[in-house]
Amino acid sequence: MADVPTLAANGLNMPVLGFGTWELDDNTLDHVLPAAIEIGYRHIDTAQIYGNEAAVGRALVGSGVPREELFVTTKVWVDRYEPDDLLASVRESLDRLQTDYVDLLLLHWPRFEGHGMNPTLEGLMRARAEGLTHHIGISNFNIDQTEQAVAFCGPGALATNQVEYHVYLGQERLRRVLARHNLVLTAYMPLAKAGVVNDTVLWEIGAQYNKSAAQVALRWLIEQDRVAAIPATSNVHHAQSNFEIFDFNLSLADHEKIAGLEKSRRLCAPASLSPDWDD
Ligand SMILES: NC(=O)c1ccc[n+]([C@@H]2O[C@H](COP(=O)([O-])OP(=O)(O)OC[C@H]3O[C@@H](n4cnc5c(N)ncnc54)[C@H](OP(=O)(O)O)[C@@H]3O)[C@@H](O)[C@H]2O)c1
């Protein structure tokens, strides 16, 4: 089994391909996550709000893979943003995950009450200082919020902004800002919620390499500088094929064709949580 390449940025050393777990319940995870780890996934993405950290923890411990070879991300939900409560919530996550630390701890959405984001960022930095997480980051922050968070935490403090990114959503301005601050863009919904699967342009590109449209969509992401992808699946065959993206390269012409796809299809924009998106 080949090792997944890792991304290094702001001290981070994160496998470029991870396994997403949103909407996967305990029964599904008990089945698919051990198989995914067996396939070779070492980067697992969960969140407090997914309600599945305990199932993730079971699979991690049950895998027998040494903890230091795994990369585990969880996200603090917005109702635990008061600093002391943030730390308490992370300790609860660690109990459920059966681990002493996560590799990466994110603020799930930029939804702050009257006090603004700084106290919550302070709580996030305390979690890292106390060893509850190795790295910290943000999720769903727009450009202004990213700039504010970087300014408050200091250069090199934040590792990533996890945002929606796929062949149908450009994110060009945000990508430039993240690159300037050396933050990884962790692409969620990298398969556009399976929307890529029957795309004829991706399908035709994949036919050249004996790859599927989904594999082309994932390969396109990880060929970009400082971009990681975390596809989710309940299906072990899909987990296997999503992992088989390290044995081919897209050509410049392929990239140009993908650049020509519509780039404004945002799928995840809950009204109560979303910031003013940049595009
Ligand atoms: N930070 C945030 O706010 C946020 C928001 C959304 C998501 N996320 C993270 O990002 C992860 C990925 O996003 P997502 O799960 O929403 O969407 P996604 O990964 O783009 O798409 C998942 C869908 O694609 C299907 N699929 C996966 N592999 C496939 C394949 N090879 N062929 C055909 N269909 C395939 C899955 O169905 P099957 O089960 O049938 O394979 C599922 O319906 C989440 O699990 C979560 O960890 C984070």
- Classified as helix, coil or strand, 102 is strand
Answer yes or no: is pLDDT of 2 > 80. Answer: no
Answer yes or no: is pLDDT of 113 > 90. Answer: no
Q: How far apart are CA 107 and CA 111, in angstroms?
A: 9
pLDDT at 43: 98
**Cβ atoms of residues 214 and 195 within 8 Å:** no
pLDDT at 271: 95
Going by alpha carbons, the residue nearest to atom 29 of ligand 1 is 238
Q: How far apart are CA 158 and CA 135, in angstroms?
A: 7
> Going by DSSP bridges, is the β-strand pair 184-188/158-164 parallel, antiparallel, or unpaired?
parallel
**Cβ atoms of residues 104 and 127 within 8 Å:** no
Q: Which residues are catalytic?
A: 50
Q: How far apart are CA 196 and CA 106, in angstroms?
A: 27
Q: 186 CB under 6 A from ligand 1? A: no
Grade residue 171 by pLDDT with cuts at 50, 70 and 90: very high
Give residue 9 CA to ligand 1 midpoint distance, Å.
25
Going by alpha carbons, the residue nearest to atom 14 of ligand 1 is 189
pLDDT at 1: 55
Q: 236 CB under 6 A from ligand 1? A: no
Q: What is the mean pLDDT of the chain?
A: 97
Number of residues in the chain: 279
Q: 133 CB under 6 A from ligand 1? A: no
Q: How far apart are CA 84 and CA 57, in angstroms?
A: 24
What average pLDDT does the segment 243-271 reach?
A: 97
Closest CA relative to residue 159, chosen from 118, 119, 104, 231:
104
Sheet harboring 43-45: ordered strands across?
19-20, 43-45, 71-76, 102-107, 133-139, 158-164, 184-188, 227-229
Sign of CA dihedral 178, 182, 186, 192: positive
Q: Domain map of the chain by residue range?
A: 6-259
Among all chains, which residue has been given the structure tokens 């603004």? 116
pLDDT in tens, 234-243: 999 999 999 9
Closest ligand 1 atom to the C-alpha of 188?
Answer: 10
Domain 6-259 bears CATH identifier 3.20.20.100 = yes
Grade residue 103 by pLDDT with cuts at 50, 70 and 90: very high
Answer yes or no: is pLDDT of 63 > 80. Answer: yes
Q: 203 CB under 6 A from ligand 1? A: no
Write the single-letter amino acid at 132. Answer: L
Sign of CA dihedral 63, 65, 69, 75: positive
Grade residue 193 by pLDDT with cuts at 50, 70 and 90: very high
